[in-house]
Amino acid sequence: MAEPILEVSGLVKHYPLTRGVLFKKQVGSVRAVDGVDFVLAAGETLGIVGESGCGKSTVARMLCHLERPTAGAIRFKGQDITQLSGKALKAVRRNIQMVFQDPYTSLNPRMTVGDIVQEPFEIHPEAAPKSDRRRRVQELLEVVGLNPEHVNRYPHQFSGGQRQRIGIARGLALRPEVIVADEPVSALDVSVQAQVVNLMERLQDEFGLSYVFIAHDLSIVRHISDRVAVMYLGRIVETGSDAGIYDHPTHPYTQALLSAVPVPDPAAREHRERIILTGDVPSPADIPSGCRFRTRCWKAQERCTREVPLLAVPERFRDAAGPVAHDSACHFAEERRVLPPDEPPGPHGLVTA
């Protein structure tokens, strides 16, 4: 594995749960992120997947310092950024930029594209002298495949895909080393999603970027990621190479998620098994004891109510070679292939340009 650029350990974000209007009293906490650990190597893409509300965006916001963690460390090139403030923090923040989900609401409708892409230079004037900014903005627009002559247009004059290109250009303005993309293509038409994903891949090669790529679409995540982390109720429950997660999943939750992935080939579809999970996701304000997945797990046993399963290579796979030997937080982890073998690129027909 290449040198780590980002190391996240014991990351926690709890929001106080209050009652009363005048005299607010804390009656509990929403454990949105509840102990997340991962490493992002330089130049790689880590995909984060999981159902709505499992804490993906909260992790993203903490990585970009838009929100302070309740506990834990985020090390950028070895330095814990959660402990920094003032100038030192500002210097590091430049290096980790975010691309947001919704290109319709994340761009200010009253600002021209030029001003939007230039905005990061207002916060970090040292990144580009004033006289050079217009040229830099035009260069950035060109890099993301937009016409540099359109700097004076407004967001509503662009399509969804083009707007996301503007969001990406803004994310690149300060030449960051890490991009945290929170559902960057979820709001786009399927046909446009592939173009934006392909653009992100090209930019990664061109600028040596490292990506944390968050999405709930497992096919897109597989296409772009080198490694994948599956989140459930504020924690990572399984993580490994894309081959490990997609072809050799060992955690019941991952197996259930994968079993719901649309399979384009009708013959293959007939042979695959759907795992239907019963019950709703518990509230993050009331997380089950032991294994947090146990209330929906068909394999749950008494041990699962008492003992929190740790995220590590399960005992039975420790001596195994290949992608099956990856971290899985389950006491009874076992391999179960749910996707048909040699699956084609996916429902979106993503192809690398």
Binding site for ligand SF4 (CB under 6 A): 252, 291, 293-294, 297, 299-300, 304, 309, 330-332
d(C-alpha 215, C-alpha 52), whole Å = 10
Q: How far is the CB of 212 from Mg ion (least distance, A)?
A: 13
Please pick, from the candidates 216, 272, 299, 316, the single residue that binds ligand ATP as defined by CB under 6 A: 216
118 touches Mg ion by CB under 5 A: no
Residue 182 near residue 106, CB atoms below 8 Å: no
Q: How far is the CB of 214 from Mg ion (least distance, A)?
A: 7
- List Cβ neighbours of 90 (8 Å cut-off, separation of 6 or more): 124
Please pick, from the candidates 54, 117, 141, 338, the single residue that binds ligand ATP as defined by CB under 6 A: 54
Q: How far is the CB of 232 from ligand SF4 (least distance, A)?
A: 9
Q: How far is the CB of 56 from Mg ion (least distance, A)?
A: 5
Residue 54 interacts, among ligand SF4, ligand ATP, Mg ion, none and using kind-specific CB cut-offs from 5 to 8 Å, with ligand ATP
Residue 330 interacts, among ligand ATP, Mg ion, ligand SF4, none and using kind-specific CB cut-offs from 5 to 8 Å, with ligand SF4
Residue 176 near residue 96, CB atoms below 8 Å: yes
Residue 52 interacts, among ligand ATP, Mg ion, ligand SF4, none and using kind-specific CB cut-offs from 5 to 8 Å, with ligand ATP
Residue 200 interacts, among ligand SF4, ligand ATP, Mg ion, none and using kind-specific CB cut-offs from 5 to 8 Å, with none
Nearer to ligand ATP, 30 or 141 (CB): 30
Pairing relation of β-strands 45-49 and 210-214? parallel
15 touches ligand ATP by CB under 6 A: yes
Residue 339 near residue 255, CB atoms below 8 Å: no
Residue 45 near residue 209, CB atoms below 8 Å: no
First to last CA, the chain: 26
* Phi then psi dihedrals of residue 242, to 5 deg: -65, -35
Residue 55 interacts, among ligand SF4, Mg ion, ligand ATP, none and using kind-specific CB cut-offs from 5 to 8 Å, with ligand ATP
Nearer to Mg ion, 57 or 118 (CB): 57
Nearer to ligand SF4, 47 or 314 (CB): 314
Q: Which residues of 316-340 are buried (b: 16+ CB within 10 A; e: fewer)?
A: ebeeeeeebbbbbbbbbbeebebbe
d(C-alpha 131, C-alpha 228), whole Å = 42
Nearer to ligand SF4, 85 or 278 (CB): 278
204 touches Mg ion by CB under 5 A: no
Judged by CB under 6 A, the stretch of 47-55, 92-100, 122-130, 198-206 that binds ligand ATP is: 47-55
Contacts 24+ apart (CB under 8 A), 14-22: 14/70, 17/285
Instruction: Give DSSP secondary structure letters for 87-107.
Output: HHHHHHHTTEEEE-S-TTTSS
Please pick, from the candidates 4, 47, 55, 184, the single residue that binds ligand ATP as defined by CB under 6 A: 55
Please pick, from the candidates 13, 36, 57, 221, the single residue that binds Mg ion as defined by CB under 5 A: 57
56 touches ligand ATP by CB under 6 A: yes
Q: Which residues 139-168 are close enough to bind ligand ATP by CB under 6 A?
A: none
Please pick, from the candidates 1, 21, 25, 52, the single residue that binds ligand ATP as defined by CB under 6 A: 52
d(C-alpha 249, C-alpha 255), whole Å = 6
Residue 73 near residue 8, CB atoms below 8 Å: yes
Q: Tell me which amino acid residue 220 is.
A: I
Instruction: Give DSSP secondary structure letters for 286-312.
Output: SPPSSSTTGGG-TT--HHHHH-PPPSB
Residue 209 near residue 174, CB atoms below 8 Å: no
The site for ligand ATP (CB under 6 A) is made up of 15, 30, 32, 50, 52-58, 216, 284
